[in-house]
Structure 1
Amino acid sequence: MEEREELQSILAYLPVVMRCSSPFWPSQAVETLRELGGGRVNSGHHFFQAISDLRNALSLSSEPLAPSAPHGYALFFDEVMSGEESSKWFQEVLPALGNLLLRLPSLLESHYQNTDNMAIDGEAGAMLTTALRLLDSQQPGIVFLTQELIAALLSCSLFCLFPVSDRPVIHLPMINFDVLFGSLYDDYSQKQENKIWCIVHYFQRISSEMPKGIVSFERKVLPFKNDSIHISYPDANFWSTSAIPLCRFEVHSSGLIEDQSSGAVEVDFANKYLGGGALGRGCVQEEIRFMVSPELMVGMLFLPAMADNEAIEIVGVERFSSYTGEINKAFCGFLYQCKYQPYQKILQENGCTSALFYAATSTSMETDEGEISNHKITNSQNDYHGMDQGNNIGVATGNWGCGAFGGDPEVKTIIQWLAASQALRPFIAYYTFGLEALQSLDEVAHWILSQRWTVGDLWNMLIEYSINRSKGETNVGFLQWLLPSIYGHGARMDLPNLA
């Protein structure tokens, strides 16, 4: 097993060690995990001491954790949690996690044995592996993980057992939870507390009822060079001459992307690092999505930052929590556990059937004010090629990259519409979250569709706007520039009914 190329690529980033070609825990680690499994840890202070003992057993003491991490663990489990919640955590949940971690070596061994039987067809009849491995930049590939193995790996994150010193070298995001807990102590906020509650809910759930599904993580790459096999990275001429008609555009001024019921691909179009600031202090759209579906976070273990021509598709994660609160004041309300509710439509992809579909894609590119370039839109097209073209699966998305990254929401909207249309998606369900700049989006989209524009038509208008904006010839948003009549003194246009 140790000689497997897939395992070799990820072994330095896993907490287990190898002996006789098999993964195992050192004896000191086994002893500590058995203490946890036996329910002999009963406070946040003792919990972190067990974490320190495990890290010492794995020779990780030279990789310091966040300075406030021990205080953060003690604060949450000894003070934030009620006495009843704390008792349940230390008597039921933590022992279950300790026993799960004891089984991690055997789960990994079974994973690599089973993936030999789960290889998928590639080009020219070649069989492609689905085993856990480093999916590096510009290397397309897919990994299948059982939800049980994901739970064990995320338990390693909770226990801060992943080696991290070499992760920045290959642009891997943080994976341990020390910063998450440490920042709770350094600068307490309700949002940060509720992020941790989401993770706690997840561990409570899997400790009482382990999910039995499979999740796939796939890195998708649009090659920069043209060839006869792949869809390549399109240039400006490709977009300007496209005769593909624009897809249907649905505007939702309220509601959340993750609450959509149409079975659409749910888009995460924000940070080049998967998860963004989920394990730090971040608490906006991307981070919230990863908190309510913590299984997404395991992708942060083996998926380095995305380049401009890449996207990541994740299929099969479960949503474990929900939340209340305004989107710009996210996580200000009560959190509760959600029961697993699979989509009615069973999706088949790459030979793996999944009852719950979610695609998380991201890009490093942000829209510069007054300037549009080809590579900013190509990422979106890559995102929306997640499944076979011509299917009935639409796209649910929103104002990605328009907060901390300062993107233009009107331009971002059009970019995603162009990309989804070019990828032959039947519709976009766009969630504006009540953003004032997009109040007229529904009306403008309705007018554009009434003109029977193609992707090329809308692209060329966007380029013309970009040129005008960069020359200082206009300072209004794209929607008003395109259709000024609906912004004048409350005037409205009589638009044709496209129903």
Structure 2
Amino acid sequence: MSESTITQPKTWRGTSIKDICGGKGPWSFTVTPLSPSKYHSVLYELPATLDGPPIPRVSKEPHLWHEDHVRMPFSTKNLFSVDEINIKERWKLIQDALKQPITNSKELESALKKYNRTLPNFGALHYFLHEELGEEESEQFFKNLLPNIISLALRLPELLPSGIPLLKQNHNRSLSMSQQQVSCILANAFLCTFPWKQNVAASYPGVNFVSLFSAFQREKRKDCVCEKLKCICNYFRRVTQNVPLGTITFERKFIPRSNMPRWDTLKNNLGNTRIHLDSEGTIEENGRGFLQVDFANKNIGGGVLAYGCVQEEIRFAICPELIAARLFVEQLGNGEAVIIIGTERFNSYTGYGDTFEWSGDYRDVTPRDIYGRLRTSVCVIDATMYHRPKEQFSGSQMIRELNKAYVGFHSRDPPPIAPVATGNWGCGAFRGSKQLKSLIQLIACAAAGRDMVYYSFGDTQLVEEFYYVHLFFGNNQITIAQLWRLLGQFASKNLSEDKLFSFIQQAHFESKNQPNKSIQTITKFFTKKTLDSPRSRNSSSPSKASQEKPVNNNKKEPAEIPMDLEENAVESLSPCSDDVVESSQPEESPYFKKLMVKVQSSAKKRSIEEKLPKTDLSRIFEMLDDEGNNCKETGEEHQVPLTEVIVHRSDVKQS
């Protein structure tokens, strides 16, 4: 048999990519519009065409040294103490230092120290330029590439004359820039020109490359740090030779806990969410045209400017424009995600972690939308790190991860919306369970109305097991609410995490054989306060997902107490709030209405009371109110000021 007739083994399960795309290809999905507003800052003149770089927008009131904006290096308020007596504008020092001839890494380090008070030793940069690169490559760097980077950086007042708004916590805000403006930001980051203070560093990751230049203490990561520097140098070679013409949008999404879906009430049939599972391929290469998940750190970019070299750091290294987000995206809270549209890939690579290597230049042929953005959408969501992996099966942790994934996957765009391209989110160094995280992402996709394309990174067993459990969901018409209750039962069992799929199937059949078997519930997070809140009395109309009828409606099941396990509940907001996503819950639960009709019937009142759990009736009615999750939020999240809010729809889409 000839080699041409040998068929490759099938590595995927589920629905084909062709069918996922409806036979129209990956570019057929809805494009998120770009609309300038109070909550969407566009830093270039519209419309943007590809005839040339977009023209920078000049505002009447530039914000160059403002608490809600990035502190710009060229601001006249950016001062530097040369000595005990002399204080000069830092931008003038930057210009003077960088215009001097620089012929080696020691001179480069010395130049940067003229406008930075304290800098560590640039051991990694010295090693890269004089040991990793050949003599000819090093000479070309100082003769050609570095002068081009400096020229680009010094154009900052021209390319970003009005400043850069910060994307702060607990606000829905968007920011659009040209690729040329982003390249100017990164050139300044490479030369460490952005002013930085310790109190800011606690919540903003920082974009200056000083930490990458000094990442030389870990011998095993010395090589991958050099490979990341190769990615950066190739990026600057490209953008300084040919100015990029496109645009990029950075969107911060925030949904308060009070407006999250009630997972214990959603009737979406999980079998209706199509999935494509593949043990081969990568999100960035094979998920083109889809919503591509970045397995993020809460500080966007993670360790990209240090020793990190796993999924997020690699994605930021091969698409360096993502690194710019570290300048203006504040640390992510529990109910937040970031969507980045339009970033370009510049580098090819092989390996992972210690074996990561830059393998050459990459030409991104992704088509652009009508706004000049490449049709690449990156979804930045941070999973929880578990020091004790068993903790992830607690109710509070599962609902945190569900809410996080939902924020990232939810979209206000009309259908058809792109599927989610994801994988083993939070299952590496963060020690998450692959079985649990795959189910959490499936639930979030079902609630958000998206299909799911899952790349298991070589785990063929997970592909098979996940495929069959998804078939089980479809054949048995399992809903989100049913799976949520089954996950709650598993949390109370002393079973290993790899038994989750089999437990779900067994527990479902046992519940059918024993319909009156009680299900463990936790009620302490529902309080009478939430029933009396203004939002509860003036709730908006029910969402479609919340009104979806159960698939099996022949049997009337007794009302169950919802299992809400989030420990960090949220203070409910008034219905006039504009900066939050409207609640996805109905005004009144169908179960509550049915129960009230029965209670009002004196003939059946006694029998109903006998069927109810042995607990306080007032507590049950509190549980059955669909606004019961409007509790006070604690921890890292903060209540949104009602004067700074934006209308943001969050109706859960139907599966």
Q: TM-score range by the shorter chain?
A: 0.7 to 0.9
The yes-or-no answer on 1:286 pairing with 2:312 is: yes
Please give the residue correspondences for 1:98-137 in structure 2 after superposition, counting only pairs within 5 Å: 98-109=150-161, 112=162, 132-137=164-169
Deviation (angstroms), 1:413: 0.6
* Paired amino acid for 1:406: R
Partner of 1:126: none
Determine the structure 2 residue equivalent to 1:264.
Answer: 290
Give the counterpart of 2:95 among 6, 24, 30: 30
Deviates further, 195-204 or 294-303: 195-204
Distance 1:400 1:157, change over 3 A: same
Show CA shifts across 1:44-80 (max 9, x none). 1222222223x2xxxx31xx22x232x3222211221
Corresponding residue for residue 349 of structure 2:
323
8 Å contact kept, 2:298–2:332? yes
CA distance in 2 between counterparts of 1:422 and 1:366 reads 24
One-letter amino acid of the counterpart of residue 144, structure 2 = E
1:87 and 2:139 correspond: yes
Alignment of 1:239-318 (within 5 A): 239=266, 241-242=267-268, 246-318=272-344
Q: Which has the larger radius of gyration?
A: 2
Q: Hey, what does 1:416 align to over in structure 2?
A: 441
Counterpart in the other structure of 2:474: 449
User: Are 2:75 and 1:75 equivalent residues in the alignment?
Assistant: no
CA–CA separation in structure 2 for the residues paired with 1:182 and 1:375: 35
> Which of these residues, 339, 359, 362, is aligned with residue 338 of structure 1?
362
Q: CA deviation at 1:15?
A: 2.0
Give the aligned partner of residue 236 of structure 2: 203
* 1:358 to 2:419 alignment: no
- Give distance in 1, aligned partners of 2:301 and 2:497: 34
Count of residue pairs the alignment pairs up: 431
Identical positions, percent: 28
Shift in Å at residue 106 of structure 1? 1.0
Q: Deviation of residue 364 (structure 1)? A: 5.0
TM-aligned CA distance change 1:185 to 1:243, over 3 Å? closer
Hey, what does 1:122 align to over in structure 2?
none
Corresponding residue of 1:52? 113
Contact 2:64 2:70 in 1 (8 A): no
CA drift at 1:2:
8.6
d(CA) in 2 for partners of 1:198, 1:263: 23
Shift in Å, 1:428? 0.8
What residue number does 2:419 align with?
394
Q: 2 CA distance for matches of 1:375 and 1:73? A: 40
Aligned to 2:527: none
Secondary structure of residue in 1 paired with 2:296: coil
Residue 433 of structure 1: aligned partner: 457
Give the Å deviation of 1:25.
6.7
The code of the aligned residue for 1:212 comes to L
Taking the TM superposition and a 5 Å limit, the aligned residue runs for 1:209-224 are 209-224=242-257
Moved more, 280-289 or 265-274: 265-274
Look up the match of 2:499.
Answer: 477
> What secondary structure sits across from 1:430 in the alignment?
strand
Structure 2 stretches lacking a partner, 5+ long = 1-58, 78-88, 508-655
User: Using the alignment, how far apart are the partners of 2:60 and 2:195 within structure 1?
Assistant: 18
For the structure 1 residues 160 and 10, does the alpha-carbon distance in structure 2 shift closer, same or farther, using more than 3 Å as the test?
A: farther
CA deviations 1:85-117 (Å, max 9, x no partner) are: 1122112211111111221111111xx3xxxxx
Structure 2 length-normalised TM? 0.61
Q: Which amino acid aligns with 1:237?
A: D
Q: CA contact under 8 A between 1:417 and 1:428: conserved in structure 2?
A: yes
2:104 maps to 1:43: yes
Counterpart residue type for residue 203 of structure 1: F
CA RMSD of the aligned region, Å?
2.7
Give 3-state SS (helix, strand or coil) of 2:276's partner.
strand
Describe the superposition over 1:250-275 as per-residue Cα deviations: whole angstroms up to 9, x where unpaired.
11101111111551100113321111
So what's the TM-score if we normalise by structure 1? Answer: 0.79
Residue pair 2:246, 2:372 contacting (<8 A) in 1 also: no
* 1:334–1:375 CA distance, 2 compared to 1 (3 A): closer
Match of 2:262 among 232, 235, 240: 235
Determine if the alignment matches structure 1 residue 153 to structure 2 residue 178. no
User: Would you say 1:460 and 2:492 are equivalent positions?
Assistant: no
Would you say the 8 A contact 1:14–1:163 is kept in 2? yes
